[in-house]
Amino acid sequence: MRIEKHPILTFEKGRKVKFTYNGEELEGFEGEPIAAALHAAGVKVLGHSSVHKRPRGFYCAIGNCSSCLMTVDGKPNVRVCIEKLADGMKVETQQGKGDLI
Amino acid sequence: MRTTDVAVIGGGPAGLSAAISAASLGAKVTLIDRNDRLGGQLIKQTHMFFGSQKQHASVRGVDISGILEEQLSKYKDNVEVLLNATVLGLYEDGVVTIEQGEEKYFKIKPKAMVIATGASEKVLPFPNNDLPGIYGAGAVQTLMNVYGVAPGDRALMVGAGNIGLIVSYQLMQAGVKVAAIIDAAPKIGGYLVHASKIRRMGVPIYTSYTVKEAIGKDSLEKAVIVQLDEKWQPVPGTERELDVDVMCISIGLSPLAELLWQADCEMKYVPELGGYVPARDEEYQTTVKGIYVAGDVSGVEEASAAMVEGQLAGLCAAKNLGFTSPDFEARRQDCIDQLNTLRSGPVGAKIRAGLEKLLG
Amino acid sequence: MLEKTGIPTEEQLKEVTPSKERLSRGPVAIIECFQEIPCNPCYTSCSTGAIKELVDINEKPEVDFDKCNGCGICISNCPGLAIFVVDESYSEDKALIKLPYEFLPLPEKGDMVKALDRSGQVVGQAEVVKVVNSKAQDRTPVIWIAVDKELSMRVRNIEMGV
C-alpha cells in the first residue's frame, strides 16, 4: 500500500530498516511513523480497547486521539502515529492499560 | 528563567505568519511546535490555494509552508524555533512549561504570546464508528501525502465540505477509489469547483445522506448509508450498502483551545466557528492581556485567513510591547482589509455570522 | 443541481459559453466557476486582459471572448481546475479541448482515451493531441484532446484506456 508514483509529490524516505510486530519481522523506512510502516505492511488493527476489547486503529495521525497506543521496546502507551520507526524496534500489541513502572 | 518577547505556540500557517510579522518588527520570537517540522497541516495540502496573491493563491499548500519558512529564516537572529516541543501548561504568572523530546522539560516567560494551536477533527457517532479503517479525513491526508502510504483500496468520504472534497480528490491521486461522498446537509458545503472536479472523475456525491452503520470484524468491510428527510431523520428503505475498506470522517473541526481555557481566557460557544472560541478584540488579543490568538483556534476557517490572522496577531503583539516600524499602521490595516475581503462573499456568510456572535 | 450533485445545469453553462460563431473562430477559454468564492488567479494569470478584473475577489470571473486567444495559461493557474479551452476550428469534424489533468499515468500524444462528461460518464473517445506540462504549470498538466465536434461542450475529463 505504498504509493509508488504520485502526480504532485515525491516522497523522501529514510533507509530501509527491519522491525518486529508481535514477533513477526517487517520492513519499513527509518524515521517514518511506526503506524505508517504497519499500515504499509497491511496491519490495520493496532490494539484493543481496554474494557470492551474492541479493535483500535489509526485515527488522527497527529498524536491527538490515543487510538494507536502500542508497546514499543517494552514501553507501553506509545502513540505509534507519531513515534518514529528505528532499526530493530520491537513493536507489540498492548495488553491492558500498560503499567507506568 | 528563559525569556522572550513573543512566544508563538503552533507553527502552522497562522503561527508561522505570526512569528514572521512579530520578528519583522524586531521582537525576539520563540516559535514552539510539537512536531519535528514547521508548517502544521500545510505540509499535506497538495492542492492550490484560493484567495489572492497576498495569500499565495494558486500555490500548493505544501509549497506555501516552504515560502513561510524561508521568510522566517530572514529573521534568524531574533527567532528561536523549538521543534518536538509540546507546551504543557500556561500558568497564572505568565510562565509557559514545555516538554521537548522525552528528556527536556523547561519554562519560558514570554512578554506576550500568540496561541495558534489549530483545530482537531470532529467525530461522528454511528454503530461501529471505532473500527480500524475509519479515519479522520485529515489523518488519511497525512498518511498519504506526508508518508506516502495509501489507506486502502476503496473509500467512502463522509462530509462534502472543502476538506472532504479535497481529500477525495487526493485519494484518487494516490490511487484509491472513492465509492461516494456523502453529506447530511441538503447542499454541498465546500467550494463547488472542488465538487465538480471530483464529480467529473465519476464519483457520486449524495447530499442528505448519513452513515447508518459500519460493518466489519477487525476492520471496516462495508458501510451502510441512509438518506435523510428535511428534518434530518433517516428515511426507511433508503439504505445502501457500500463495499469500502476506508471511511474518512470530514464533518468539521473544533478549535484546540485547551491552553486558552487554562489561561482563563473568556470563551464563547459559537457553532459557526467550530465550537468554543476565545473572545478577542480586533487585534486578536484575548481577554487576558498579552495573549493573542490566530488561525483555527480562534475560529475554524480557511488557511488563507489563518495566515492573515497570524500576521495581524504577530504585528499587534509586538507593537503592544513597544516594537514598531513606520509602516506598522499600513500593514495592520492591510491585514484587516484582507480578512474582510476574504470573508465578504456568500461563502463567508457563516464566518461573518459567527464573528457577529463572537464580537457582538 | 450544482449544489447537490457537483454538476452545473444547462442554464449555468449557457451563461459562460461563447457563441457558436466565436467557438468556430478558434480557441477560447470557458470558465466553469459558478460560485462567488474569494479567488482571483484566473484574472492575475491572464496576459491578454481577456479575464475581467475582479474588483472584489469574490466576484465570479467573466471572459471577454473577443480578447481571449485560448492560450490556456489560466487552466493550470485555477485552484478549482474549472477552466477549459475549446476550439471548434480544429478540423472539419473534430473540436479541440484543453483540460487540466493531475493524475498518473499521464497520457501521451497519439493515445486514444475515454472522453468523460461532467458526471464522469464515458460519452465517446478522444485522441490526445498534445500534453503540455511545463515547469510554470507547477504539476497541473494540460491535455489537448480532439473529440467529435458535437461533444465539445460535454467532454470535460479523460480516463486512460478505450
Contact C102 A6 (CB under 8 A): no
Q: Residue C48 corresponds to which cell in the numbers above?
A: 491578454
CATH of the domain at A82: 3.10.20.440
Residues of B in contact with C103 (CB under 8 A): 172-173
Structural domains of chain A, count: 1
- A99 assigned to some structural domain: no
With CB atoms and an 8 Å threshold, state whether B139 touches A6. no
Sheet with strand C94-100: strands edge to edge? C28-31, C83-87, C94-100, C142-148, C122-132, C112-116, C157-159
Contact between B297 and B309 (Cβ < 8 Å): no
Q: Where are the domains of chain B?
A: 2-120+253-359, 123-249
Cell of B157: 468520504
Out of B121, B139, B144, closest to residue A3 by CB: B144
From A95, A82, A97, A90, select the one nearest A26 (Cα to Cα).
A90
Residue B186: cis peptide before it, omega within 30 degrees of 0: no
Q: What is the residue-level pLDDT of chain B in tens, covering all 360 positions?
A: 999 999 999 999 999 999 999 999 999 999 999 999 999 999 999 999 999 999 999 999 999 999 999 999 999 999 999 999 999 999 999 999 999 998 899 999 999 999 999 999 999 999 999 999 999 999 999 999 999 999 999 999 999 999 999 999 999 999 999 999 999 999 999 999 999 999 999 999 999 999 999 999 999 999 999 999 999 999 999 999 999 999 999 999 999 999 999 999 999 999 999 999 999 999 999 999 999 999 999 999 999 999 999 999 999 999 999 999 999 999 999 999 999 999 999 999 999 999 999 998
The predicted structure's pLDDT at residue A101:
62
The residues in B 174-193 lying below 8 A from A, measured between CB atoms, are 174-175
Distances, alpha carbon B87 to alpha carbons B103, B108, C50, in Å: 14, 10, 51
The residues pairing with B29 across neighbouring beta strands, listed in sequence order, are B6, B79
pLDDT of A99 reads: 78
Segment (H or E) for A76: strand A75-79
List the CATH code of the domain at B123-249.
Answer: 3.50.50.60
CB of A58 less than 8 A from some CB of B = yes
Residue C162 confidence (pLDDT): 85
Helix H or strand E encompassing B75 = none
pLDDT digits (tens, 9 = 90+) for B338-348: 999 999 999 99
Cβ neighbours of residue C148 under 8 Å, at least 6 residues apart? C93, C94, C95, C124
Sign of CA dihedral C98, C101, C107, C111: negative
Domain ranges of chain C: 2-159
CA atoms of A90 and C79, how far apart (whole Å): 44
One-letter amino acid for residue A61 of the chain: A
A53 touches B at CB < 8 Å? no
Residues from chain B that touch C40, judged by Cβ atoms under 8 A, are 51-52, 57
Nine cell digits for residue B225: 448509508
Task: Decide: helix, strand or coil at residue B142.
Answer: helix
Domain that holds residue A35: 16-92
What's the CATH superfamily of B2-120+253-359?
Answer: FAD/NAD(P)-binding domain (3.50.50.60)
Residue percentage of chain C with pLDDT more than 90? 99
- Rounded to an integer, what distance in angstroms lies between the CA atom of residue B21 and that of residue B26? 9
Residue contact A40–B144, C-beta within 8 A: no
Please, what sign has the CA dihedral across residues A80, A86, A87, A89? negative
Does B124 reach chain A within 8 Å, measured CB to CB?
A: no
Which helix (H) or strand (E) segment holds residue C15: the answer is helix C10-16
Q: Is A42 on the interface with B (CB under 8 A)?
A: no
The span from the CA of C110 to the CA of C126, in Å, is: 10
Q: Is B174 on the interface with C (CB under 8 A)?
A: no
Q: What is the pLDDT along chain C (162 residues), one digit of tens a residue?
A: 999 999 999 999 999 999 999 999 999 999 999 999 999 999 999 999 999 999 999 999 999 999 999 999 999 999 999 999 999 999 999 999 999 999 999 999 999 999 999 999 999 999 999 999 999 999 999 999 999 999 999 999 999 998
CB-based burial label for C105 (10 Å; 0-12, 13-18, 19+): exposed
Q: What is the pLDDT of residues C47-79, one digit of tens each?
A: 999 999 999 999 999 999 999 999 999 999 999
**Cβ-based burial of A41 (10 A; exposed 0-12, middle 13-18, buried ≥19):** middle
Beta strands B96-100 and B104-115 are antiparallel
Residues 6 or more apart whose CB falls under 8 angstroms from that of C50 comprise: C29, C63, C64, C65, C67, C68, C69
Question: Is there a shared CATH topology between the B2-120+253-359 domain and the B123-249 domain?
Answer: yes
Whether residues A60 and B150 touch (CB distance < 8 A) is answered with no
Record: contact B51-C103, CB cut-off 8 A: no
Flag whether residue B88 sits within 8 Å of chain A, measured between CB atoms.
Answer: no
Residue B25 CA to residue C46 CA, distance in Å, equals 36
* HEC readout, B285-321: EECCCCEEECHHHHCCCCHHHHHHHHHHHHHHHHHCC
Q: CA of A5: which chain C residue's CA is closest?
A: C104
- Alpha-carbon distance C29 to nearest alpha carbon in chain B (angstroms): 16
C-alpha cell at B318: 509586538
- Which chain A residue is nearest to residue B132, measuring alpha carbons? A57
From the first residue on, what is the mean pLDDT of each consecutive set of 10 residues in chain A (101 residues)?
95 96 98 97 94 93 92 95 97 87 62
Cell of B240: 445502501
Any domain includes A76 = yes
Residue A1 forms part of a structural domain: no
How large a percentage of chain B has pLDDT more than 70? Answer: 100
What's the CA gap between A80 and B187, in Å, rounded?
A: 37
What pLDDT, on a 0 to 100 scale, did the predictor assign at position B179?
Answer: 98
Nearest to B114 by CA among B332, B275, B295, B322: B295
